[in-house]
Structure 1
Amino acid sequence: MNFPAYRIKIRRITICSTLLVAGIALATTAFKKEEQHTGVNNAASMSEADIKASQEAFMKVYKVFMSPRCMNCHPAGDVPLNGDDNHLHPQGIKRGKDGKGLYALKCTNCHQVENTPGLNMPPGAEEWHLPPADMKMVFEGKTPYELAKQMKDPKQNGGKSLQDLIEHMKTDLVKWGWEPGDGRTTPPMSYTEFYDTFKEWIDTGAALPDKNAR
């Protein structure tokens, strides 16, 4: 046996194996990083600048989603929330299977297509309802990371694409949050700023905020 040649062959195999392992490790790290930021496995690569801009955009709109005008219709339980203090809706109102109330206690019994005039009178907008029971889309108690991940997951957002989410933000029900009627506060930014910032989150890749972000 030619021992020098044998040693060279072994050395080459060792070097190739080391490079292969290193390559796999780098690819795995990049994959995990991308999945952490995007929440999906096959997302297009995002630049660090886009990731940062996208995360910052979501953190801004997160404050809107946590405001009473949004969160009251996205409760953790099956009872809608009321008021700026997020208390449970009185009168025994429940979500129901379709999100429009249970039995005879339907949302539209009191909530019409526009606000009822007067201080703290029943608010209203087209299609007034909660998310359905099989797709609750809970905002209450969600961290920025959890909410962003849920919001962009079609299995948790009603089958919506990212573009569908943008279109949803144009609906009268969403816009109602900025015209909630007498006695109710509005979200912490204007509707135009909210819409533009939400769209920026989508346009820059819909990156997920850091898991520890609050």
Structure 2
Amino acid sequence: MRAVAIVLAAGSLMVGGALLSSVGAAAPAAPPAAPVETLKSVADFTSIQDPAARSVALFTEAGKVINSPRCMNCHPVQRAPTQGDNRHPHNPPMVAGQSGHGPVGLSCASCHGPANFATWGQDIKSIPGDPKWALAPVEMAWQGKSLGAICAQIKNPAKNGGRSLAELHHHMAQDHLVGWAWNPGDGRRPAPGTQAQFGELVKAWIDTGAKCPKA
């Protein structure tokens, strides 16, 4: 009987080991991380002699950030945030409300704290956060618009929060919520380049006349 028990135990270990190996082999490999997109420096545009053409080229480069999901998801036209690199509808469903901070009884702060928050989720690895977390005002809605239209909107004080071009540069280069785009939490691809590079491009764009691409 003892010999039979030993054989059965050994068999169980072999089956268990095979099962574990099978499970391990069946587990899908994590997809490779997408390469971080870079930004050209201001110096890369000095060969463009015409200031207006250089200004347009500088804004087009800065547009890589403006058009990135990290910015676009919070600048919706439909007054409801989107999520992910594919800009799918926010889950759970959410709307801006009158304040841009969500509807009465379910503010953005119900889930979004002052900083990114790691989760144990497989698909959602972190919940984004910032002390000023909110949707952009309706005047700053960008989704679905051409880069030229966004450019004209950005430099219009009636549609940029009353900011002068100097104040706009400070906002782009220094604002903490704008800077979240380069520190979006685990599971999200950062905006291209760095906030410092983005700020330098915006400053050079302003210095060359703040010209816009064709809408």
TM-score by length of 1: 0.72
> Number of matched residues?
162
Q: How does 1:1-214 map to 2 (within 5 A)?
A: 49-118=50-119, 120-133=125-138, 135=139, 137-169=140-172, 170-211=174-215
Identity of aligned residues (%): 40
Partner deviation per Cα, 1:164-193 (whole Å, 9 max, x = no partner): 111111111000100100000011222222
Deviation at 1:132, TM superposition (A): 3.0
Q: Tell me how far apart the structure 2 counterparts of residues 132 and 138 of structure 1 sit (CA, whole Å).
A: 7
Q: Tell me how far apart the structure 2 counterparts of residues 154 and 98 of structure 1 sit (CA, whole Å).
A: 20
Deviation at 1:115, TM superposition (A): 0.2
Q: Tell me how far apart the structure 1 counterparts of residues 137 and 59 of structure 2 sit (CA, whole Å).
A: 25
> Which 4+ runs in 1 deviate beyond 3 A?
none
Structure 1 unaligned runs (5+)?
1-47
SS at match of 1:105: coil
Partner deviation per Cα, 1:49-91 (whole Å, 9 max, x = no partner): 2211110110001111111100000012111011111011122
Tell me the C-alpha RMSD between the 2 structures: 1.4
Partner deviation per Cα, 1:14-43 (whole Å, 9 max, x = no partner): xxxxxxxxxxxxxxxxxxxxxxxxxxxxxx
TM-score by length of 2: 0.71
2:99 is matched by which residue type in structure 1?
Answer: D
2:191 is matched by which residue type in structure 1?
Answer: P
